[in-house]
Copies of this chain bind each other. A is one copy, B any other.
Amino acid sequence: MVPRVSTSIPHPDFAAERFTRCPDARFQPAPADGVLPDGFFTTTNLPTYVRIGGQWRMPREPRMDGALVLDAQGELWIREGRRVRAGERVVVGLAEDGTEGVYVNTAYLGGGGEGEFKFMTSEVSREKPIDYAQMARVLVDERERGGYPIWVTGPALVHSRARADMTWFIANGFVGALLAGNAVAVHDIEASIFGTTLGMSGTGEATSGGHGLHMRAINKVRAAGSIAKAVEAGVITNGIMHACVVHKVPFVLTGSIRDDGPLPDVVTDNVGGQDAMRRHAVKATMAVLVATALHAIATGNMLPAFVTEKDGSLRELPTICVDSSEFVVSKLKDRGTHQAFGVVTNAQDFMHVLRLYVERELSARVSAAKPA
C-alpha cells in the first residue's frame, strides 16, 4: 500500500504488432484562444504516447484534463485548454488504446487486461446518486413474491423521528422481521409514552427533567412484564414496537453492554441473541441495515451473500446498508459482506424518501394493473 520509490513503470514494446498497425495521431487547429477543436483528446495523468511521423513520443509536462498540443517548433506538450492559442495544433480522438494514434498506459496498474482511466470508481461515496426508485422496486417485488426482508436498525432511526416511516413499513407488510437492540425499543417506547427520545423534544430541544424519561419508560414495561403486555395494557399506544405487536411482525431485541434497563424482551445473553437473530437470517431474502454499525456487522457475519430459491437456483441477496458516513459500509465490506450496497445519508431522510418512492411504485403498479 505504501508508495515505494522503486516502482518502475516499463515503456510498452512499440515493436509489437498491436502498435505497429496504429495510425499517426490527427491534429486540428484550435478555433479561438482558449477554445479547443471539437473531439479534442483529453489527457489523463498516466504515461501517454502519441504517434507522430511513425514515432511514439511522450508529451512534456503531463497532467490530466489537458489537451495535446504540437507547437511551432515541433515540440509536443500537454497544456490546459485555456492556455491554447488560436491555430495551435491539437490532437483529436477519443481512443486511449493507440487506435487513433494515442496510447495511454494503464496496463501496469494491474486489475487485469485492459485498465481504463475513470473518475468516480470508489464503491461507496456520498457523492454518488441514490437510486431510490430501484430500491423501491426491490422492496415491492419482495412483498409481491412473499419474500422475507429483515430490517436491522439502530436507535438513530427513532431518535431522529424516522419512527413514523418505519412504523408504516411494518404496518404495510414490508418487514419480515425486525432485528435491533434494546435502545431502539426504549427510545420508541419513550416516544410513545412521553413524546421524547432521551429527553429530547420533537423539535430537538433538551427538556428539563428529560434525562430520566427513558428510565421511566423502561420501568413501566418492566412493571407490565413485556412489550406485548404493555401494548395490551394501553401503556404503549403507537410506534415501531406497537406496530410489530399489532401486525404480528416478529422482532428480536438483543442486548449490549451499554443498555439501560434492559426491557424484559431483550435477550441479554449474546450467544442466545445471535441464535435468535440467526433464526431470521437463515430465512432472509433481503436485508435492510439502517444506522447501526454493531447490528449491521453482526447481521453481515451470519448472512449468506445469496438466496437459495425453492428450485435450487441462486441469486444475490439484496443488502442495503444506510449510514451517515462511508465508514460503516466499507467496514461491512472489509468483513466480507461484499454484496452490501451503501447509501450514505441521514437515517431520517432515507426513511422518508424511501417511503415516498415505495408509495409511488405502488401507485404505478396499481395503475398499470388497471384495465383500460
A-side residues, CB < 8 A to B, are 1-11, 31-32, 34-36, 40-42, 44-47, 58, 61-65, 80-82, 94, 109, 111-113, 116-123, 125-131, 134-135, 137-138, 141-142, 156, 159-161, 181, 198-200, 202-212, 215-216, 218-219, 222-223, 254-262, 268-271, 273-274, 277-278, 281-282, 286, 293-295, 297-298, 300-306, 308, 313-316, 318-320, 324-327, 330-331, 333-339, 341, 344-346, 348-350, 352-353, 356
Least CB separation from A67: chain B residue: B215
Chain B residues lying within 8 Å of A160, measured Cβ to Cβ, are: 126-130
Find out whether the CB atom of A11 lies under 8 angstroms from the CB atom of B314. yes
With A138-B5, A262-B270 in contact, do A126 and B314 touch (Cβ < 8 Å)? no
Q: Distance (Å) between the CB of A363 and the closest chain B CB?
A: 16
Instruction: Count identical subunits in the complex.
Output: 4
Q: Distance (Å) between the CB of A338 and the closest chain B CB?
A: 7
Find out whether the CB atom of B119 lies under 8 angstroms from the CB atom of A200. yes
Find out whether the CB atom of A255 lies under 8 angstroms from the CB atom of B270. yes
Find out whether the CB atom of A256 lies under 8 angstroms from the CB atom of B294. yes
The 6 A-B pairs at the shortest CB distance, nearest first, are namely: A42-B212, A3-B318, A345-B346, A112-B112, A258-B298, A349-B349
Least CB separation from A36: chain B residue: B219
Find out whether the CB atom of B305 lies under 8 angstroms from the CB atom of A45. yes
Chain B residues lying within 8 Å of A304, measured Cβ to Cβ, are: 45-46, 62-63
Find out whether the CB atom of B58 lies under 8 angstroms from the CB atom of A308. yes
Q: Distance (Å) between the CB of A324 and the closest chain B CB?
A: 5
With A82-B271, A118-B211, A269-B269 in contact, do A204 and B344 touch (Cβ < 8 Å)? no
Least CB separation from A127: chain B residue: B159
Chain B residues lying within 8 Å of A42, measured Cβ to Cβ, are: 211-212, 215-216
Find out whether the CB atom of A204 lies under 8 angstroms from the CB atom of B156. no
Distance A219 CA – B122 CA, assembled complex (angstroms):
27
Find out whether the CB atom of A198 lies under 8 angstroms from the CB atom of B255. no
Q: Distance (Å) between the CB of A112 and the closest chain B CB?
A: 4
Chain B residues lying within 8 Å of A7, measured Cβ to Cβ, are: 315-316
Chain B residues lying within 8 Å of A315, measured Cβ to Cβ, are: 5-9
Distance A271 CA – B257 CA, assembled complex (angstroms):
7
Find out whether the CB atom of B120 lies under 8 angstroms from the CB atom of A334. yes
Find out whether the CB atom of B281 lies under 8 angstroms from the CB atom of A3. no
Find out whether the CB atom of A258 lies under 8 angstroms from the CB atom of B294. yes
Distance A155 CA – B111 CA, assembled complex (angstroms):
30
Q: Distance (Å) between the CB of A65 and the closest chain B CB?
A: 5
Find out whether the CB atom of A131 lies under 8 angstroms from the CB atom of B203. yes
Find out whether the CB atom of A5 lies under 8 angstroms from the CB atom of B256. no
Chain B residues lying within 8 Å of A325, measured Cβ to Cβ, are: 324-325, 327
Distance A146 CA – B80 CA, assembled complex (angstroms):
29
B65, B122, B268, B271: which contacts A334 (Cβ < 8 A)? Answer: B122
Q: Distance (Å) between the CB of A146 and the closest chain B CB?
A: 13
With A65-B215, A212-B42, A334-B127 in contact, do A32 and B270 touch (Cβ < 8 Å)? no
15 other A-B residue contacts (CB within 8 Å) besides A2-B134, A45-B303, A254-B257: A3-B320, A5-B138, A10-B314, A44-B336, A45-B337, A46-B304, A62-B304, A111-B111, A119-B211, A129-B202, A131-B204, A255-B270, A256-B294, A257-B294, A258-B295
Least CB separation from A156: chain B residue: B127
Find out whether the CB atom of A81 lies under 8 angstroms from the CB atom of B320. no
Q: Distance (Å) between the CB of A159 and the closest chain B CB?
A: 5
